[in-house]
Amino acid sequence: MKSQKGVALTSVIVYIIIMLVVISIISVITTFFYNNVEEVGKDVDPSQEFTRFTSFFIDDINKTNTEIKECSENGEYIILSDGTQYTFANNAVYRDKVKVCDGVENVTFEYENNEEGKNIVNVKYKLTKNTEEKTTKFTIG
């Protein structure tokens, strides 16, 4: 009978080399995956962000007995009667201290009382440098 010790050692070496190749392929794929996930996270769609702000703002101004407590002259912030404050700073809109909209170019708040006696908040916004400024009117109550 012949000794099979050399074959077993060769088999172990081949298995180790195959395992190293498989592990290196998996690590390369994983690295590409995580790098792409980080790239996707960097892209912020301003229109989706502004829609999220709009939903919060509508909920707050449509509560019963809501009034405007204060609106800054330069339009940077607006405070509602329940104490909720919306502020534009650093290309983001904050509801109190929570960021509800990010990546917008400019947002200003204006408060007016129209001929019919309705209180209206005008939100002027510019989503990106390449878009024009738009205005959305919100009627309180």
SS3 for the chain is: CCCCHHHHHHHHHHHHHHHHHHHHHHHHHHHHHHHHHHHHHHCCCHHHHHHHHHHHHHHHHCCCCCCEEEECCCCCEEEECCCCEEEEECCEEEECCEEEEECCCEEEEEEEECCCCCEEEEEEEECCCCCCCEEEEEECC
For residues 105 and 59, membership in a common domain is answered with yes
> Could you tell me if 24 and 87 lie in one domain?
no
Query: How do the pLDDT tens digits run along the chain, 141 residues long?
Result: 566 666 678 888 999 999 999 999 999 999 888 887 766 655 667 788 889 999 999 999 888 788 888 988 888 999 998 899 999 999 899 999 999 988 889 999 998 887 777 888 999 999 888 888 999 999 886
In the prediction, which pLDDT does 5 show? 61
Domains of the chain: total? 2
Q: Within this chain, do residues 92 and 32 fall inside the same structural domain, yes or no?
A: no
- In this prediction, residue 94 carries a pLDDT of 94
Q: Is residue 16 located within the same domain as residue 54?
A: no
Question: Are residues 63 and 7 located together in one domain of the fold?
Answer: no
Is there a single domain that holds both residue 29 and residue 87?
no
Could you tell me if 70 and 122 lie in one domain? Answer: yes
Q: Which domain holds residue 34?
A: 1-43
- Predicted confidence at residue 128, as pLDDT, reads 84
